[in-house]
Amino acid sequence: MSNTLVIYYSFTGNSKKVAEYVKNKLNADILELEPAVPFSSDYDEVVDEWQNNDIKRDVEIKKVTTDLSKYDKVVLITCTWWYGISPVMKKFLKDYDLFGKDIIVAASNAGWIGHCFNDYKTLLPNSNIKGELDLLFSANAVERDKMLTTQEEVDEWVEKL
């Protein structure tokens, strides 16, 4: 078993693609976070619903059964929702303990990453955050899955772990 775990939440698949790339590159294990009740499949409806994605606003998530204590290193990747990390990632970080682990964090976004890295720091007060990656994707609705951050930047970030 690897000592590195990639943990991600992805609504439209961008963070998922990067999470799988990192998993293969590091030969790591992977854990997908999921809301207990799926969000609407209508993108604009979800954008409207989460317009005030305050750090205190919670969503229920599916129980995580992976034994997190087995991992020394963790990679966290989430989409950005309303200038902050997704409510699913927030809830995970509130409910589960990553105390003392080495961590690198990323937030996929369309150009408005806001306070995502502060959210990670606030929710991970006892972890060693070794690298932050602004994972930029196109804001154009017809090519939202186009990654603008280069593969080299992703590779450099991964090497910080």
Ligand X SMILES: Cc1cc2nc3c(=O)[nH]c(=O)nc-3n(C[C@H](O)[C@H](O)[C@H](O)COP(=O)(O)O)c2cc1C
Site residues (vs ligand X, CB under 6 A): 10-15, 43, 46-47, 50, 79-83, 108-114, 137, 144
Contact at 8 Å (CB) between 139 and 133?
no
- Rounded to whole angstroms, what are the CA distances from 82 to 4, 44, 52, 132? 29, 13, 7, 18
Residue whose tokens read 């690198």: 104
- Of the two residues 121 and 144, which places its CB atom closer to ligand X in the complex? 144
- Of the two residues 92 and 102, which places its CB atom closer to ligand X in the complex? 92
Least distance from ligand X to the Cβ atom of residue 79, Å:
3
- Of the two residues 83 and 99, which places its CB atom closer to ligand X in the complex? 83
Least distance from ligand X to the Cβ atom of residue 145, Å:
7
Burial (CB count within 10 angstroms: exposed 0-12, middle 13-18, buried 19+), residue 105? buried
- Of the two residues 102 and 135, which places its CB atom closer to ligand X in the complex? 135
Least distance from ligand X to the Cβ atom of residue 115, Å:
10
Least distance from ligand X to the Cβ atom of residue 35, Å:
12
How many Cα atoms are found within 13 Å in the side-chain-facing hemisphere of 25? 17
Q: Could you tell me the two tokens for 52? A: 């005030």
- Rounded to whole angstroms, what are the CA distances from 26 to 42, 46, 80, 102, 141? 34, 33, 24, 14, 32
Contact at 8 Å (CB) between 71 and 1?
no
- Of the two residues 4 and 14, which places its CB atom closer to ligand X in the complex? 14
Least distance from ligand X to the Cβ atom of residue 119, Å:
12
